[in-house]
Amino acid sequence: MYWGDKPYYSLNYFLRQKFGEKVFKISLDGGFTCPNRDGTLSKNGCIFCSGRGSGDFAPPAILPITEQFNRSRALLKDKWKSGKYIVYFQAFTNTYGPVDVLRKKYEEALSLPNVVGIAIATRPDCLSKPVLDLLDEINKKTYLWVELGLQTMHEDTAVLIQRGYPLSCFEEAVNNLSKRNIDTVIHMILGLPGESKSDMLSSIKYAAKQPIQGIKLHLLHIIKDTPLYEYYLKNPFHVLTMDEYIDLVIDCIELLPPHMVIHRITGDGPKALLAAPLWSKNKKAVLNGIHKRLKERNTWQGKLYSFSCRE
């Protein structure tokens, strides 16, 4: 089973089908913080999170939204002469602020040339009713998806990585978004300390049953100057090899429903700060390895989905 040229439902395929042409994501930094950073829950953040709150590839937050957009668009135009854009509020928690401030930043981004939608990364515990009402309003005007960092379904791991909310909070947030017909994309991290292959696949089976529309699969990156790096130095744990990761990603793909868009099958970390696994610096080799192994295993997204749902 193929979606275009891939045996899984890629974001590129989904966006081309929806908008009829190439669509690019442009990462923006809205200048927000996070309850896991400002002392509300913690001052350390999730242990894997970089100093820029996973917004390492966005322009500096000190720049206005429009200037950030123009800078990133100029870089894309060197390679692609035409296309549409999804503005992506990526860094930190992008619903963590007064609703009037959120509205102003979102509307400025949506007013920019050739923008056809908006993606907003946030936390499940930062979706109050006023925020949900604002998202509902935006969703009726343009294409919107909301990203939630679940990472794992296992509560003991969630405590270890200092996620700061229970699984019940995630489920409430997903259901609230679903009731408003807002597309939801969740992040899952493969290779978290202490998790077995069975643990990770249990999280994927759990995700497969949620009322969500998309998923991002991330390799755990150990970034210098993060709590995870300090933990790794004091408590060395197994870091996935490239072969292990490739097979694990394919195991995940087989368990995901065919209608779920896979936004990512690996992730990027700032190379200068990456402590492990160093093989992940060669993203092209990782992607090529996944696609080659998919062919070798003669498999595709959803191959085992029906079976997994019966478990």
Angle between helix axes 283-297 and 242-255 (nearest 10 degrees) is 60
Smallest Cα–Cα separation from 283: which of 308, 266, 258? Answer: 266
Positive or negative torsion for Cα 273, 274, 278, 280 = negative
Indicate the pTM of the whole model: 0.94
**Could you tell me the CATH number of the domain that includes residue 273?**
3.20.20.70
DSSP notation for 167-199: HHHHHHHHHHHHHTT-EEEEEEEES-TT--HHH
Number of domains in the chain: 1
Task: Report the Cα 141 to chain-centroid distance in Å.
Answer: 23
Residue 1 domain flag: no
**Which residues span the domain enclosing 208?**
11-309
Q: Is residue 3 part of a domain?
A: no
Contact indicator for 58, 29 with CB cutoff of 8 Å: yes
Helix runs in 180-301, H state only:
197-208, 227-234, 242-255, 283-297
> Smallest Cα–Cα separation from 27: which of 111, 86, 102?
86
Look at the block and give the residue holding tokens 């492990």: 276
The amino acid occupying position 58 is: A
Classify residue 81: in a domain, yes or no. Answer: yes
CA distance linking residue 256 with residue 237, whole number of Å: 28
Q: Is 5 among the domain residues?
A: no
The pLDDT of residue 83: 86
Quote the pLDDT of residue 105. Answer: 97
* Predicted pLDDT of residue 155: 97
CB atoms within 10 A of CB 156: 10
CB count within 10 Å of CB 113 equals 9
The reply to whether 4 falls in a domain is no
Copy the structure tokens of residue 179.
């009731």
pLDDT of residue 53: 46
Three-state SS at 292? helix
For residue 6, being part of any structural domain is answered with: no
Alpha carbon distance 117, 275 (integer Å): 35
Dist. CA 185–CA 215, nearest whole Å: 5
pLDDT tens-digit profile, the chain (311 residues): 899 999 999 999 999 999 999 999 999 999 999 999 999 998 888 999 876 545 456 678 789 999 999 999 988 877 777 789 999 999 999 999 999 999 999 999 999 999 999 999 999 999 999 999 999 999 999 999 999 999 999 999 999 999 999 999 999 999 999 999 999 999 999 999 999 999 999 999 999 999 999 999 999 999 998 999 999 999 999 999 999 999 999 999 999 999 999 999 998 778 889 999 999 999 999 999 999 999 999 999 999 997 665 55
The Cα-based distances of 90 to 30, 78, 144, 149, 153 in angstroms read 8, 23, 14, 11, 22
